[in-house]
Amino acid sequence: MASMLFQLPVTVLAGNRDCGHDSYIVDAYLDPNTWTATYSHQYKKGNGVNGPIYGTCYVTACYGNRYPQCAVCGDVDYSHPHQVVLYNDHANCGVGIIYY
């Protein structure tokens, strides 16, 4: 008796696969909700007659949360957030915007 092979389509919904979520990728999903914090640091503007001249640079840091996401079905594990800095914007020290 000849055996029959069945071909299944590759694009099957995760709900039909009963995924099990064994394929989480750390920090794969970035939550679109972000928040900012401001801090300052000193920087050298130049040299004066009596020594260096310093200025104050105000930095805006943008933060967000990244979460593990399943590579198979796309499920996001919201119970394990990882806070990350998305970028820092230095106002006047010359560094500019640093993306992470």
For 35-94, how does the pLDDT look when each residue is reduced to its tens digit (9 = 90+)? 999 999 999 999 999 999 999 999 999 999 999 999 888 899 999 999 999 999 999 999
Distance between alpha carbon 81 and the CA centroid of its chain, in Å? 11
pLDDT score at 20: 74
| Paired tokens of 3 | 């055996």
Let me know: does 17 contact 72? Beta carbons within 8 Å. yes
| Paired tokens of 49 | 């007659």
R_g (Cα) of the chain, nearest Å: 25
Model confidence band, residue 7 (pLDDT cutoffs 50, 70, 90): very low
**Top-confidence residue, 50 or 5:** 50
Model confidence band, residue 18 (pLDDT cutoffs 50, 70, 90): low
**Top-confidence residue, 7 or 32:** 32
Q: Is 17 a residue whose pLDDT tops 60? A: no
* Residue among 44, 87, 37 nearest 58 (CA): 37
- H or E element that contains 15: helix 14-17
**Terminal alpha carbon distance of the chain:** 61
